[in-house]
């Protein structure tokens, strides 16, 4: 009998550690797995082919009885069929093992063809063959830009030198995205194997080149760092890392560098500066990292998910990968579905599916039966795609045509209670805080845009603000050195493009229809519904509510500070917010 | 560089809690390794909780770099703090997913409960809260992390209840 408990960060936050301990303490040989991607059902326990979800300590005790073949009440925690169906839209390559195998046990990875691809490459393929296979796969970098991985490797290979670096970008800075975390926590060996293959393709030569691998992981992912460290140790023990890998004359090892919290360090030249112990400031390219990277040596940088696709491609052939997807985007892509979506989690789907397939097919639509309004893709560099474009096909070009981008895979779903002006303000606030400060347009221009948006959200929007925003956006795009500054205006531009009416409402009518911008709201008490319970009056910090017991209460808007307390506490829905 | 900060026994730190001997193994290990400033600072913060200016100056001296460079790095990365924090550091996520699901309301509730602004220590020394930009548990948003524990699907009441429980434990 195989019993597993999903213990990714998300599972643990939902209480999986406690469940795991209940099973362990009862003598059940439960195995740890990573995140299967159905975060909304966490904690999840599998007993052979049965899946139990939202497992509470009580549920765990029923599952224990089930395991022991006793009479039990575990059935009520069994996964509903419709949730199982969500998996059928998916096609898992990067996530193939996540939530299935024990990430802390290399034997389980090996049992699922693990390290077979690396072994094959080193034993039977030339580096040129490997690169040709990668080119044939059409795999584009999953860090956001989608640049051909095979081509990138060929550049790093072409550079001469006695030392080269292979770097993995696990900075995952887009707030609202967690694909890379899931891969590292759930299947670290897949990443390691991908990196070994990359290192071999770039650095194996007749005159040996010293190859070193570095994974730059963001500091907020402590569990990922622990699991990866463990996995590296196990791979070393088995001769898959270190000197003379698989008994060949190729040597390669990997170390981890924990980031220190800076979004801009996801940009490759900033990442390199950070690795060198400096402030993470981007620099002009060329020279590209492939020419002059870490310590000025040829360096190849790829994203976690990019590497995680590599072993599959080498096992199944580039053509099999290229058979999935569209003309310009091959293979699959992992998305992190969050926000107002009913079933938040991870989804890996073939390119060419539509946003609807992901948001409704996997995500189950919108929470609480509300209306879908927009989805933000590409984080602070991306844009909001409105409801009317939900049938947009997922590929690099089609998404770019909407004004958003594929990005690294964050999909933050928004409903009618999300204010799009506030979202634009939110993203600019983020980019302003994260700007490294090198370029004037990024450092000051974005701040000016933010100030305008803050003004609009505070009810002080003016005639001409929209034009001013558009004008600044164009200048910032033109005048910034790196993509952080260049793309910072995108959330503003896309919301202006699709939700201009909301800007106009804010500016001209001083109204926020989504009821998010507090200064624009008014509070009133509906005399029909008010029972005179006095609760709101007692809670109001501004003493703005007058009334006696069992009599209708009234708000004095002159005193009201618009804190929202009254509408929160009223149990009779009598406070009308507009 | 001629430097005698290690021998200079009169090197006094304004915070008497700082036992510099604890950092010695790290300084030994990384003192001559180029590019290890961030690693040393991370270790120092892990040991002492924060990086006061005099500690920064000491590290600069030991690594043979200018104090201004150390301060430049410390102020660039959000992980580094120059002020001490309470016994329990609350990392409140303000990432996109958490924002959409109401993290600013959670912050308001936490601020009211603690009676402090971001980065300050409560009078009882128990708490400091900091806003962060995504803890990677976005599917459970809004999320906060205290110590190594992550709490998801927060509401204002739930967040305050968690803090009360921690406060009760002391
Ligand atoms: C501001 C900024 C942040 C970025 N953050 C990340 C990140 O967190 N993870 C990532 O893989 N790539 C990130 N990138 C993209 C990287 O610069 C780089 O293109 C990528 O790591 C290359 O790997 P790939 O070809 O496999 O996608 C970022 C770029 C910019 C401009
Ligand atoms: S665009 Fe912004 S983040 Fe990028 S280098 Fe310039 S100032 Fe720094
Ligand atoms: S809380 Fe609601 S019902 Fe009670 S007095 Fe206020 S408005 Fe009326
Ligand atoms: S919004 Fe706040 S200040 Fe205004 S009436 Fe309600 S409780 Fe009082
Ligand atoms: S946005 Fe809050 S955990 Fe990711």
User: Which helix (DSSP H) or strand (DSSP E) does residue A43 occupy?
Assistant: none
Instruction: For chain A, say whether B12 makes contact (Cβ under 8 Å).
Output: no
pLDDT at A119 over 70: yes
Q: Cβ of B152 and A427 within 8 Å?
A: no
Average pLDDT over residues B38-57: 96
pTM, full prediction: 0.95
Average pLDDT over residues A343-362: 96
Supply the pLDDT for residue B42: 97
d(CA A473, CA A119): 50
Selection from A371, A331, A372 nearest residue A351 by Cα: A331
- CATH 3.40.30.10 maps onto chain B at 88-169
pLDDT band at B148 (very low <50, low <70, confident <90, very high): confident
Which residue from B41, B79, B141 is facing A338, i.e. has the nearest CB?
B141
Based on the domain organization, do A53 and A179 belong to the same domain? no
Based on the domain organization, do A526 and A471 belong to the same domain? no
Q: How many domains would you assign to chain A? A: 5
Looking up residue A267, the CATH number of its domain turns out to be 3.40.50.11540
Cis peptide before A168 (omega within 30 of 0): no
Single residue among A321, A350, A372 that ends a domain in this structure? A321
Question: Who's near A25: CB < 8 A, 6+ residues apart?
Answer: none
- Indicate the Cα dihedral angle A344, A95, A319, A301, nearest 10°: 100
Based on the domain organization, do A206 and A239 belong to the same domain? yes
Looking up residue A377, the CATH number of its domain turns out to be 3.10.20.600
Give the mean pLDDT of chain B.
Answer: 92
Supply the pLDDT for residue B62: 93
User: What percent of chain A has pLDDT above 70?
Assistant: 100
Domain for residue A167, yes or no? yes
- CA A105 to chain centroid, in Å, comes to 25
Beta strand extents in A340-446 (DSSP E only): 345-350, 372-377, 383-386, 410-415
β partners of residue A252: A242
Within 8 A of A14 by CB-CB distance, chain B residues are 140, 152
pLDDT at B1 over 50: no
The two structure tokens encoding residue A507: 């500016």
A521 CA to middle of ligand 4, Å? 11
d(CA A551, CA A531): 7
Based on the domain organization, do A188 and A317 belong to the same domain? yes
Based on the domain organization, do A239 and A115 belong to the same domain? yes
Within 8 A of A430 by CB-CB distance, chain B residues are 133
Which residue from B37, B78, B138 is facing A178, i.e. has the nearest CB?
B138
The two structure tokens encoding residue A511: 């109204």
Based on the domain organization, do A447 and A486 belong to the same domain? yes
Nearest CA to ligand 4 atom 4: A560
Average pLDDT over residues A44-65: 96
Could you list the residue range(s) of the whole structural domain that residue A64 is in?
A: 3-79
Domain for residue A51, yes or no? yes
Q: Is B140 in the pocket of ligand 5 (CB under 6 A)?
A: no
pLDDT band at A263 (very low <50, low <70, confident <90, very high): very high
Supply the pLDDT for residue B4: 59
Residue range A468-496, pLDDT digits in tens:
999 999 999 999 999 999 999 999 999 99
Domain for residue A36, yes or no? yes
Based on the domain organization, do A242 and A222 belong to the same domain? yes
Based on the domain organization, do A236 and A124 belong to the same domain? yes
End-to-end CA separation in angstroms for chain B: 47
User: Which helix (DSSP H) or strand (DSSP E) does residue A381 occupy?
Assistant: none
Average pLDDT over residues A155-164: 96
Domain B20-76 has CATH 1.10.10: yes
- CATH 1.10.10 maps onto chain B at 20-76
Supply the pLDDT for residue A283: 97
* Residues with C-beta less than 6 Å from any ligand 4 atom: A 523, 540-542, 544-545, 555, 560-566
Average pLDDT over residues B130-155: 93
Based on the domain organization, do A234 and A302 belong to the same domain? yes
User: What percent of chain A has pLDDT above 90?
Assistant: 96
Domain for residue A101, yes or no? no
Domain for residue A94, yes or no? no
Give the mean pLDDT of chain A.
Answer: 96
d(CA A412, CA A432): 20
Checking ipTM against 0.90, whether it exceeds it is yes
Interface test with B, best of A225, A257, A339 (most B CBs within 10 A): A339
Q: Is A316 in the pocket of ligand 3 (CB under 6 A)?
A: no
CATH number of the domain located at residue range(s) B88-169 in this protein: 3.40.30.10
Based on the domain organization, do A314 and A338 belong to the same domain? no
Which residue from A258, A277, A340 is facing B100, i.e. has the nearest CB?
A340
Domain for residue A96, yes or no? no
Based on the domain organization, do A200 and A134 belong to the same domain? yes
Closest chain B residue to the Cα of A39, Cα to Cα: B139
Beta strand extents in A205-314 (DSSP E only): 210-217, 253-258, 299-303
* Tokens 């393709």 -> residue: A201
Average pLDDT over residues A62-72: 96
Supply the pLDDT for residue B6: 60
- Cα separations (Å) of A284 from A267, A289, A292, A477, B72? 11, 11, 12, 15, 21
* Residues with C-beta less than 6 Å from any ligand 2 atom: A 264, 282, 435-439, 442-443, 480-482, 484-485
Q: Which atom of ligand 1 is nearest to the CA of A140?
A: 25
Pairing assessment for the beta strands A554-555 and A545-546 based on DSSP bridges:
antiparallel
Single residue among A371, A390, A415 that ends a domain in this structure? A415
Average pLDDT over residues A50-63: 97
* Tokens 């060419």 -> residue: A352
Average pLDDT over residues A382-404: 96
Domain for residue A8, yes or no? yes
> CB pairs under 8 A, 24+ apart, for A466-473?
A466/A496, A466/A500, A466/A503, A466/A504, A466/A507, A469/A496, A470/A496, A472/A445, A472/A448, A473/A449
Q: Cβ of B151 and A13 within 8 Å?
A: yes
Based on the domain organization, do A228 and A272 belong to the same domain? yes
Closest chain A residue to the Cα of B112, Cα to Cα: A541
Instruction: For chain A, say whether B146 makes contact (Cβ under 8 Å).
Output: no
Q: Which atom of ligand 5 is nearest to the CA of B141?
A: 2
d(CA A358, CA A364): 8
**Coil, helix or strand for A33?**
strand
Instruction: For chain A, say whether B135 makes contact (Cβ under 8 Å).
Output: yes
Average pLDDT over residues A265-287: 97
Domain for residue A98, yes or no? no
């Amino acid at each position: 009998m195989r019993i597993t408990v999903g213990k990714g960060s998300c599972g643990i936050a939902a209480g999986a550690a406690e469940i795991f301990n209940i099973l362990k303490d009862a003598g059940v040989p439960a195995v740890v797995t990573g995140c299967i991607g159905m975060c909304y059902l966490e904690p999840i326990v599998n007993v052979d082919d049965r899946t139990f979800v939202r497992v509470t300590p009580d549920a765990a005790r029923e599952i224990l009885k089930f395991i022991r073949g006793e009479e039990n009440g575990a059935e009520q925690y069994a996964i509903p069929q419709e949730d199982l169906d969500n998996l059928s839209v998916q096609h898992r390559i990067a996530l193939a093992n996540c939530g299935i195998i024990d990430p802390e046990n290399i034997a389980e990875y090996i049992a699922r063809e693990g390290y077979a691809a690396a072994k094959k490459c080193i034993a039977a393929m030339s580096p040129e063959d490997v690169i040709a296979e990668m080119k044939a796969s059409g795999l584009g970098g999953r860090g956001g830009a989608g640049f051909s991985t095979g081509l990138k490797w060929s550049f790093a290979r072409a550079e001469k030198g006695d030392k080269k670096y292979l770097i993995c970008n696990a900075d995952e800075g887009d707030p609202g995205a967690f694909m890379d975390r899931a891969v590292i926590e759930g299947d670290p060996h897949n990443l390691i194997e991908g990196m070994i293959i990359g290192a071999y393709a770039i650095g194996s030569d007749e005159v040996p080149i010293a190859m070193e691998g570095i994974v730059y992981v963001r500091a907020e992912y402590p569990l990922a760092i622990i699991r990866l460290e463990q996995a590296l140790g196990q791979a070393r023990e088995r001769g898959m890392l270190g000197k003379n890998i698989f008994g060949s004359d190729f040597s390669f090892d990997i170390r981890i560098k924990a980031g220190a919290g800076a979004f801009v360090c996801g940009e490759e030249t900033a990442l390199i500066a950070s690795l060198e112990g400096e402030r993470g400031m981007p620099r002009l390219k060329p020279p590209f990292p492939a020419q002059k990277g870490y310590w000025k040596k040829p360096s190849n940088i790829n994203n976690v998910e990019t590497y995680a696709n590599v072993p599959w491609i080498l096992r199944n052939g580039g053509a099999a990968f290229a058979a999935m997807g569209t003309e310009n985007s091959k293979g699959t892509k992992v998305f992190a579905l969050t926000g107002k979506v009913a079933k938040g989690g991870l989804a890996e789907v073939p390119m060419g599916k539509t946003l609807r397939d992901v948001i409704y097919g996997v995500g189950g639509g919108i929470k609480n039966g509300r209306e879908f309004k927009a989805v933000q893709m590409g984080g602070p560099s991306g844009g909001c795609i409105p409801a009317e474009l939900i049938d947009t096909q997922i590929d690099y070009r089609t998404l770019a045509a909407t004004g958003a981008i594929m990005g690294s895979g964050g999909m933050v779903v928004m409903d009618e209670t999300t204010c799009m002006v506030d979202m634009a303000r939110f993203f600019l606030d983020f980019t302003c805080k994260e700007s490294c400060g090198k370029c004037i347009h990024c450092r000051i221009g974005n701040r000016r845009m933010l100030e305008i948006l803050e003004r609009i959200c505070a009810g002080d929007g003016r005639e001409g603000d929209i034009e001013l925003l558009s004008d600044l956006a164009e200048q910032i795009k033109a005048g910034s050195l790196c993509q952080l500054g260049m793309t910072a205006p995108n959330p503003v531009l896309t919301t202006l493009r699709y939700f201009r009416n909301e800007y106009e409402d804010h500016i001209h009518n001083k109204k926020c229809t989504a009821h998010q911008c507090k200064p624009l709201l008014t509070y009133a008490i509906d005399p029909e519904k008010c029972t005179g319970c006095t609760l709101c009056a007692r809670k109001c910090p501004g003493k703005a509510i007058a009334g006696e017991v069992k009599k209708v209460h009234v708000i004095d808007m002159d005193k009201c500070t618009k804190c929202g307390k009254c509408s929160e506490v009223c149990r009779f829905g009598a406070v009308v917010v507009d | 560089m001629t430097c005698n900060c290690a021998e200079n026994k009169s090197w006094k730190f304004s915070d008497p809690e700082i036992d510099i001997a604890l950092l010695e193994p790290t300084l030994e290990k990384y003192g001559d390794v180029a590019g290890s400033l961030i690693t040393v600072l991370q270790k120092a913060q892990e040991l002492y909780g924060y990086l006061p200016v005099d500690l920064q100056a000491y590290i600069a001296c030991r690594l043979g770099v200018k104090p201004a460079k150390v301060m430049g790095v410390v102020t660039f990365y959000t992980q580094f703090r120059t002020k001490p924090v309470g016994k329990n550091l609350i990392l409140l996520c303000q990432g996109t997913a958490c924002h959409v699901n109401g993290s600013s309301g959670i912050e308001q509730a936490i601020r009211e409960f603690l009676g402090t602004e971001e980065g300050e220590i409560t009078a009882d020394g128990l708490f400091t809260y900091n806003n962060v930009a995504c803890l990677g548990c976005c599917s459970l948003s809004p999320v906060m992390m205290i110590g190594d524990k992550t709490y998801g699907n927060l509401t204002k009441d739930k967040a305050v209840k968690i803090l009360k429980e921690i406060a009760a434990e002391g």
